[in-house]
Amino acid sequence: MADKQAELEVGGETYDFPTIQGSVGPDVIDIRKLYGTTGRFTYDPGYKSTASCESALTYIDGDEGVLLHRGYPIGQLAEQSSFMEVSYLLLNGELPSKDELDEFSHTITYHTMIHDQMRQFYQGFRRDAHPMAIMCGVVGALSAFYHDSTDISDPEQRKIASHRLIAKMPTIAAWAYKYSVGQPFLYPNNSLSYTGNFLRMTFGVPAEDYEVVPAVEKAMDRIFILHADHEQNASTSTVRLAGSSGANPFACISAGIACLWGPAHGGANEAALNMLREIGTPDRIPHYIERAKDKNDPFRLMGFGHRVYKNYDPRATVMQKTVREVFDALNVSDPVFETALRLEEMALQDDYFVEKKLFPNVDFYSGVILSAIGFPTTMFTALFALARTVGWVAQWNEMISDPDQVIGRPRQLYTGPTARDYVPIGQR
């Protein structure tokens, strides 16, 4: 809804721009005509003040620590829902009826196998390849195997591609793990849930029956819910930007996986656990806090701080609780959890972290849980990619369905040399 005007005075002239109101959250100033009317661009590296699109999927209030999917608070979804139900919600806008959920789960279950020729792709990677390197390659390669779902102008093909991506991701991620440990790949088992199936394909072996531990299945499902979508973060924006050129969905999701891999984004859960293990014991925490505060030291507390949350990340609250549930279910403990709790407590009493509003984010505790379940650190970001795939495809679908969608093409502030004549090599 456009109503109020924003005034901009530049070069002695005043220009009016409409402001647009969303359903909740700050108004935006619509500057689409800025260049045409003023001959100026805006300058906003990192998009700290820029809304790149309109979206009805996910809402975050970073100051209040609120995260809503289609209006539903993440805490309620994590406690009461399932990853399949949240996936349906993100894709379709409403919670499903029982029949709708059964049908959706059935469809996803029956898309979990990957083309058998793709098994050979894995052999091309070194055994010590990072699972995210394998995920980028194998997911991108899906476009070479599923030609019948790459026409993005056909809603039915987009739907099939979305289902395929969500369904095949656990198989692809589990096989990346199996390949790294030299164990045979397990095919999906349709009698199991989405999450149970993933656990079996990851930790099962053909010689033995694999028993899915219900508490672990529930914890894993909850971790998937917590990672399902997070509005216009770096990897989602990457998927949208790649998709804006008309690229096929498999290529777009592969681009998202590549972006997610970075330690400032999805790679932070791996980095956070490595950091906690390096700290080792609570008595060493003050040293690391001092390092994090030192401007001359590149070290940061991994799993701390967030571009949008300037309050406790609501996902971190659920994660902290889930650590205890998994420890109880598996009858294990890990001193790293005590270190994490103590580090959080000490950092939140320190002026540096208080003033900069740096709180634990979703990655701070997720590594502790995943490690207790048995995942090596290199798999952490792969699990994030698996769960975020539903958010990526929902955002991609939303963008492609928008009749006003155009190719994403930022402008720049050019600071290089002005025009000059070419000098032949002998005269330089």
Show which residues are catalytic.
Answer: 306, 363
Residue whose token pair is 């001193």 = 335
Site string for ligand ACO, 14-53 (x = CB under 6 A): ----------------------------------------
Sign of CA dihedral 293, 296, 301, 304: positive
List the x/- string, 297-336, binding to ligand ACO by CB under 6 A: ---xxxxxxxx-----------------------------
In the bound complex, what is the minimum distance in angstroms from residue 71's beta carbon to ligand ACO? Answer: 22
User: Left if phi > 0, otherwise alpha if psi is -120 to 50, otherwise beta: which for 10?
Assistant: beta
The least distance separating ligand ACO from the CB of residue 351, rounded to whole angstroms, comes to 12
CA-closest candidate to residue 10, choices 45, 37, 28, 49: 37
- Helix, strand, or coil here: 29? strand
Complex with ligand ACO: residue 104 or 384, whichever CB lies closer: 384
Residues 357-386 that bind ligand ACO (CB under 6 A): 358, 361-363
- Segment 176 to 195, residues that bind ligand ACO, using CB under 6 A: none
Among the residue ranges 71-79, 166-174, 213-221, 296-304, the one whose residues contact ligand ACO (CB under 6 A): 296-304
Q: Which is nearer to ligand ACO, 83 or 353 (CB)?
A: 353
Q: Which residue is nearest to ligand ACO (CB)?
A: 305
Which one, 113 or 264, has the nearer CB to ligand ACO?
A: 264
Of the pair 239, 268, the CB lying nearest ligand ACO is at 268
Q: Nearest to residue 53, comparing CAs of 76, 28, 72, 34?
A: 28
> Of residues 257-276, which lie at the interface with ligand ACO (CB under 6 A)?
264-266, 268
Residue 422, classified by CB atoms within 10 Å of its CB into exposed (0-12), middle (13-18) or buried (19+), is exposed
**For residue 99, which of 110, 112, 88, 111 has the smallest C-alpha distance?**
88
The strands making up 72-73's β-sheet, listed across from edge to edge, are 58-61, 66-69, 72-73
Q: CA neighbours within 13 Å on the CB side: how many for 67? A: 27
252 scored as a contact of ligand ACO (CB under 6 A): no
Distances (CA, A) of 359 to 58, 289, 332, 342: 21, 13, 27, 13
Nearer to ligand ACO, 130 or 227 (CB): 227
Q: Which residues bind ligand ACO (CB under 6 A)?
A: 264-266, 268, 292, 300-307, 356, 358, 361-363
